[in-house]
Amino acid sequence: MKRIAAIFTAFAISLATALIARAQEPQTSVSSDPVIQLFQKLTSAPGPSGFEEPVTKIMVDEMKPYADKITYDGLGSMIAVQDSSGPRVMLDAHMDELGGLIRRVTPDGFLSMQMLGGWFDQALVDQRWWIIGSKGRVLAVTGIRDIHIAATAERSEVFPRDSLYLDIGAKSAAEVCEMGVEPGDPVVPDSPFEILNGTQNYLAKAWDDRIGLAVMIEVAHRLAHSPHANQIFYASTVQEEIGMRGAQTAADVIKPDVAIALEVGIVKDVPGVKPEEAQEVLGGGPAIFLWDASELPNRKFVAFVKNTAATNSIPLQYDLITGYGDDSAAIQRSNGGVPTVNLVIPTRYTHSHNGIINRGDFDHMVDLVTALVQKLDAAEVARLRTFAPSSE
Ligand SMILES: [Zn+2]
């Protein structure tokens, strides 16, 4: 009996040690891979629409080594420029993410929230958030009805956004004020970056559109050291999620000859997606939008992308999505019309706390965009901008 007890005690101690060790494991993945570090930095930055400064700071730091000049439009979009002659090629990715604003503080210290961007109501409840207050980050949760007092019919209900509130542990409006929180303060999801169980898939908030920004940084890095017969304007835009506002103002300033938007795409390879709803799969390579509700891409530009992908052996997927809009729609209608395409990295669960992208898709996208820009010389851009029917 004693021996068994001793063995049991030893087992219990080693189990406890293992559990403590697991509890002490870092909350977020660490990696020596500079691309993963860049993803971690970009996705963890808080930047809902209209509050993009933390992301702008990262973009300035990352683009400075490769840019001849960094300027801003009057709305806050940041424009990094490489070279000063040849056709004006605009690359675009937006800095803002889905989030919210504090709307009202109740007398007993709860907060209501104005959402920014296209949220599902069911993505909002029982989540952790960061409020960016005047004294720094304040942790908040969207409270949930307690199951023990819910009527049976309530158990399968979606709680509408107007019934939700943020709880920051305050007992009164005065305590909320003391924590540095007031109406108008931005709110973002609390969702740290993770490598998903050792796979090539990465989990984070805000892939839309921090992954597009990461593509621009990597392309700027490559093109800083290789020839290209154009001037490149890397536009990190603001306020895309509330109506592509920064792309419109940035395009007015840049006056591009052609433009490529870099975005997230919608996948079909999860349960419950109907065949006609989406076409992309995670890990299948970057994709080009052939249609969305906001934009019809320039047809010659689409063919140019297809040819470039094929000649460089880069996989390319297609997509057509109904409930989707992107910066290319604003750019193509600026300055009397601009040929544009929207290139995307397949993403699971966009507009939520927990999106997933694939590393191979990112690497292929960087290859593709670099190859495209290298081929956009004066003759190619003139061809894309020619609409007169060819004479017989
Ligand atoms: Zn987006």
- pLDDT for residue 77: 98
Between CA 209 and CA 196 the distance in angstroms is 19
As a whole number, the mean pLDDT across the chain is 92
pLDDT at 192 over 50: yes
Query: Which among 52, 97, 240, 295 is annotated as catalytic?
Result: 240
Q: Phi then psi for 257, rounded to 5 degrees?
A: -80, -40
* CA 311–ligand 1 middle distance (angstroms): 28
pLDDT of 106-152, one tens digit each?
999 999 999 999 999 999 999 999 999 999 999 999 999 889 999 99
- CATH 2.40.30.40 matches 99-189: yes
Ligand 1 center to residue 92 CA distance, Å? Answer: 10
Asked if pLDDT for residue 2 goes beyond 70, the answer is no
> Is residue 344 predicted with pLDDT exceeding 70?
yes
Ligand 1 centroid to 354 CA: how many Å? 15
- Separation of 167 CA from ligand 1 center, angstroms? 29
Q: How far is CA 3 from CA 7, 8, 140, in A?
A: 6, 8, 50
Enumerate residues with CB within 5 Å of ligand 1 (an ion): 208-209
Active site residue 62: no
> What secondary structure letter does DSSP report for 271?
T
CA 93 to chain centroid = 9
Higher pLDDT, 20 or 392: 392
Q: Region 258-274: what's the mean pLDDT? A: 97
pLDDT at 6 over 90: no
Q: Do domains 34-97+205-384 and 99-189 have the same CATH topology?
A: no
Architecture of domain 34-97+205-384: 3-Layer(aba) Sandwich (3.40)
Every domain of the chain and the residues it spans: 34-97+205-384, 99-189
Give the 3-state secondary structure of residue 2.
Answer: helix
DSSP 333: T
